[in-house]
Amino acid sequence: MKRDLFAACCVAISRARRLHAKLFRVVLTWVTLLGVSPASVVTSAAFAEELFVASPLTKEGEFTAGIEGPACDADGNIYAVNFSKQGTIGRVAPDGKGQVYLELPNNSVGNGIRFDRQGIMYIADYVNHNVLAVDRSTKKITVLAHEPQMNQPNDLAIAGDGTLYASDPAWERNAGQIWRIDRDGKVKKLAGDLGTTNGIELSPDGKTLYVNESVQRNIWAFTITDSRDLSGKRLLKQFPDHGFDGMRIDVDGNLYITRHGKGTVVKLSPQGEVLKEIDVLGGKPSNLCFGGPDGRTVYVTEVDHTRLVQFRVDRPGLEWQRWKQR
């Protein structure tokens, strides 16, 4: 009887974790009232649940083929660009129900999205060469930075102090750049003469910037200096086929990289070793983020079916951890 009760509690914990933080807490309370140790159940549930197996979150066709740039807020909602039509930001609840959150002005179209610790949303506007800032309490949109010398920008990474880094590909020339955007909107080009810069991310200690090149299939690592410039460019990993798109990092420094054209997300160690490769149920994953009540749900924007898919992982994402440190 006790073994059956314990197993039932493990299943309940695993399912609640995937849905919402409040439900997770309710189930923990229920488990305690039944006289079962919550700590032992949570540990067992983590081992018992199915990891690195993707399933659809949203219906096909709710986003356009421009689906990109997912990011999660503190409540577990997922935001991604081009819900229903181009130039929008969609908000998807953890249960998969989506709606238009806002429409961007001046024909802007977003790509990468990031949140800072205060909850400000930043959007890479590749049409008008802007980085936009959204005050979510009012939905007021302002231009944080405008740089005519940018090709786009494409994707964003954010440091613990709120400094943004932007990838900036020139697709027609198979070239790219990296920019830094300070909190006051000042912009500085940190690197040029690169391939098609796309996915961009920071290490957990904030001392290394990673950027991938979609066409050249390289993943580069740069040291961030005390002056927040880049030095020590080094090749972390090169792949022989398919392309890259967005990428994110977990709390242990493992990169999760979308393999555009192959239909997978690859998990790469800080030393460049391939640890896992996850099928995401469509050939063109464009970006991903970490979320869920425990930070161990990965959400992937997938172009072929214009939907979000999700899978569980073993360790939380860095961006989720930062939410908890606010």
Catalytic positions: 245
Torsion-angle region of 187 (φ positive above 0: left; ψ -120 to 50: alpha; else: beta): beta
Q: Is residue 110 within 8 Å of 123, Cβ to Cβ?
A: yes
Q: DSSP string spanning 246-310?
A: -EEEBTTS-EEEEETTTTEEEEE-TTS-EEEEEE-SSS-EEEEEEESTTS-EEEEEETTTTEEEE
Task: State residue 2 phi and psi, 5-degree precision.
Answer: -60, -40
Sequence-distant (6+) residues with CB within 8 A of 181 are: 131, 144, 145, 163, 164, 165, 166, 187
Question: Which DSSP symbol is given to 74?
Answer: T
Angle (CA) 174 175 181, round 5°: 140
